[in-house]
A and B are shown apart, each in its own frame.
Chain A
Amino acid sequence: MMAPDVWGIVWLSLKVSAVAVGACLPLAFALAWALARGRFAGKVLLDAAVHLPLVLPPVVTGWLLLLAFGPQGPAGRWLEDVLGMTLMFRWTGAALAAAVMALPLMVRAMRLSIEAVDLRLEAAAMTLGASRWRVFRTVTLPLALPGVVAGAVLGFARSLGEFGATITFVSNIPGETQTLPLAIYSALQVPGGEAVVTRLAVISVLLSLAALVVSEVLARRMGRHAHVL
């Protein structure tokens, strides 16, 4: 077989994961906020829907994405008509699949950290004249930040490892949708691909390890007792 472009694969994986986490972050935070602080009908349902990708077979998630974002799907057609954009067989589709799979982990970590913020501190800030927005910016968010970072890092690591939903939704196209796990899978299918598999696997381990170390360092720098691990 031809030696695959290892650094191209790594770059693509990082790009897909970074875009997935970046795009997902505001939504994940909003969902975490709603689940932690909100009081509304259907909260249990929303909670379940957010967690669905965690318990569904990833192939099913990928197939649902295909139904929604494929050329015949409602979301796919809307994107095509309004933005002239398609996610099928594109790296952006891989990012979407990664984002959907990472969402529950991100929401979970952020929700826990929002719930851990002491409401009495927010009350104290309000008696000192702070508006709701200022309380959020100067008390709630800084205190919840370690959890937000932890969620982002978890989501990033999960995105790097995303396989089932991605291969179902956007297939396994070298240079476009073939991220690290998909490249490893392909290399395993080829006789004599063990050397490539080993290289890609080592890179995977190192990347995941680096993500965890970075998050731990950030957590330590930010605050005292906030550990991700």
Chain B
Amino acid sequence: MRYEIRIDGHLSERLAKAFPELDHVVMSDQTLLFGQIIDEAHLYGLLARFQSLGLLVVEMRRLPE
């Protein structure tokens, strides 16, 4: 399944490397991370990592295949 996750603020290149499995693009005042997510465990793991890095998830949606 492919997901797209919207983070509040510009994510530095360095911190983006904490998510090697996702691509990212910096928007006006947000960062969009997107990519293949293996399963639900991966999804929840990602959410926990966002939280532990102090990142605010503002939107998250599954992309059509």
Partners in one complex: no
What is A's interface to B at a CB cutoff of 8 Å?
none
What is B's interface to A at a CB cutoff of 8 Å?
none
